Amino acid sequence: MSITVLIPAHNEEEIIQKSIESIFEQSLVPHQVIVISDNSNDNTVKIALEMKKKYNEKLIVYETINNKTKKAGALNQVLNNFTIDDFVLVMDADTVLDKNALKEAMKTFNHDNTIGAVCSKAGLLPYEGNSKWEKFLWHLQHLEYATFDSYRVETLNKVKVCHGMCTLFRTKALRSAKYFRKVWLNADIGYFDEHNLVEDLELTTCIAQNWGTTVNLKMKAYTEVPTSLRELWIQRTRWFRGGIDCLKTHGINKITKYEFFGHMLFILKLILTFLIWAMTINIYFTTGITFIMSWPVFFLLGLGLYNSIYRTQYIENINKWDIIIRLLIIPETLYYWFNSFALIKSYYMVIFNIKQKW
C-alpha cells in the first residue's frame, strides 16, 4: 500500500523545509510528496524546489492556478489532476511529524479495514520567543490541544474532526465523501468543500457517514499556534463559524446530532449563567446580601478541577507552568469565556450572514 502526502502551503518559508524533511525522514517513506503552493509571494516555492534536487521525483512542487478558495481549493486542484495512491496524508505546512507518524497511522488501518481516516495527536511546536504573554497563550493552547486529544480518545472511531494538521485518509474514503455530497446534498463540489471555512470538519462529517474516523496518539505531529489574541480570535471565530455552517449544510443526521445537542447545551448554559448573575446582583442591591458559596457550588468546582487534572495525562512534555496554570483554574476559565464569546460572535455572523475572514 502506497502513500501520497499533500502539503498545502501559503507563505510558509520559515518552516516548509522542516515540514518536508520530517516526511522524508519517516520510518515508512511515502511514495510521493506534493507541496502545493497556494498564491505564495515569499520563498516557499524556491525552498521547495531547492529540496527537490535532493529528493528528485519523489517531491513534486505544484503552484495553484487561479485558486480563490484557500486550502480546500488548493487540495482539490491536486486531487483532481494527479494520480493519487491508496492512502493520502494531508498535513499543514507549519507542521512537523514524528519519524514514526506514518508507520503508526498505517497500523491503525491494518488493524481495522472499516477506518476511513486517522488523525494524529495534536502536539505543539516549542515556543521560541521571549514574550511572557505569548508564552502564556502558548501554554493555554498546549493544555487545550491535549484536551482535544482526550475527547478524541473518548469518541474513538467516531472522532468529530480529523484535523487538517495531520490526517491520513483512505483514498476510497475521500471518494465516498464526494459521493455522499452528490447523492444526499445534491452538491458536486470535489473532495474538499471549498465553501466551508473548516474543510477538515466538513470532510470528516461526510466520511463518517460510511467509515470510522479515529485518532492514534502514537501518530505524533507538532504545529505552530497563534501567539496573539487577535490571531487567536480570528482563528477561533473561523473555526466556530465553519462548524455552524457545516451544521446548516448537513442538517441533523446520525453524525451531526451530537453537535446540535452540544450547541443547545451551550446556549442553555449561557442563559442560566446570565440568570444566576442577574439574580445575584438583584439580591445584593435589594438586600445587601452577597452571594454565599454553598456545598453544591464547591462540588461543581471540584468536579471541574478533577476533570481537568484527569486530562493532564494527555499533555506531552508537560512542565511546571502547565501544572500551575491548570491548578489556578482562573486562567483556563477566562480562556473558556474567550472562546465562548468567539462562538457567540459566530452565531451573530451566521444570523446576519456576515462574511468571515480566513
**Same-domain check for residues 184 and 276:** no
First to last CA, the chain: 35
**Same-domain check for residues 205 and 271:** no
Q: Which range has the worst mean pLDDT, 190-204, 301-315, 335-349?
A: 301-315
**Same-domain check for residues 214 and 296:** no
215-264, pLDDT tens digit by residue? Answer: 999 999 999 999 999 999 999 999 999 999 999 999 999 999 999 999 99
**Phi, psi (deg, nearest 5) at residue 320:** -65, -35
Three-state SS annotation for the chain: CCEEEEEEECCCCCCHHHHHHHHHCCCCCCCEEEEEECCCCCCHHHHHHHHHHHHHHHEEEEECCCCCCHHHHHHHHHHHHCCCCCEEEEECCCEEECCCHHHHHHHHHHHCCCEEEEEEEEEECCCCCCCHHHHHHHHHHHHHHHHHHHHHHHCCCECCCCCCCEEEEEHHHHHHHHHHHHHHCCCCCCCCCCCCCCHHHHHHHHHCCCCEEEEEEEEEEEECCCCCHHHHHHHHHHHHHHHHHHHHHHCCCCCCHHHHHHHHHHHHHHHHHHHHHHHHHHHHHHHCCCCCCCHHHHHHHHHHHHHHHHHHHHCCCCCHHHHHHHHHCHHHHHHHHHHHHHHHHHHHHHHCCCCCCC
Q: Which domain holds residue 111?
A: 3-231
**Phi, psi (deg, nearest 5) at residue 185:** -110, -5
Q: Residue 284 falls within a domain, yes or no?
A: yes
38 is written with which cell numbers? 497556494
Q: How far apart are CA 58 and CA 112, in angstroms?
A: 29
User: Helix 199-207 to helix 229-250 angle, to the nearest 10 degrees?
Assistant: 30
165-222, pLDDT tens digit by residue? Answer: 999 999 999 999 999 999 999 999 899 999 999 999 999 999 999 999 999 999 999 9
227 is written with which cell numbers? 501567539
Q: How far apart are CA 306 and CA 308, in angstroms?
A: 5
Q: How far apart are CA 198 and CA 213, in angstroms?
A: 17
**Same-domain check for residues 199 and 290:** no
Q: Residue 83 falls within a domain, yes or no?
A: yes
Whether residue 30 is predicted with pLDDT greater than 80 in this model: the reply is yes
Tell me, what's the pLDDT at 22?
A: 98
C-alpha distance from residue 17 to each of 36, 70, 268, 300 (Å): 13, 21, 47, 48
Q: Residue 251 falls within a domain, yes or no?
A: no
**Same-domain check for residues 263 and 186:** no
User: Binning pLDDT at 50, 70 and 90, where does residue 297 land?
Assistant: low
Q: How far apart are CA 89 and CA 35, in angstroms?
A: 12
**Same-domain check for residues 198 and 339:** no
**CA neighbours closer than 13 Å in the CB half-sphere of residue 275:** 6
53-71, pLDDT tens digit by residue? Answer: 999 999 999 999 999 999 9
**Same-domain check for residues 205 and 315:** no
Tell me, what's the pLDDT at 306?
A: 87
**Same-domain check for residues 86 and 219:** yes
The candidate with the shortest Cα–Cα distance to 201, out of 146, 254, 238, 150, is 238
Q: How far apart are CA 87 and CA 106, in angstroms?
A: 9
What is the overall mean pLDDT for the chain? 94
**Same-domain check for residues 179 and 320:** no
Report the CATH number at residue 104: 3.90.550.10
Whether residue 325 is predicted with pLDDT greater than 80 in this model: the reply is yes
The candidate with the shortest Cα–Cα distance to 92, out of 189, 225, 217, 208, is 225
**Same-domain check for residues 11 and 149:** yes
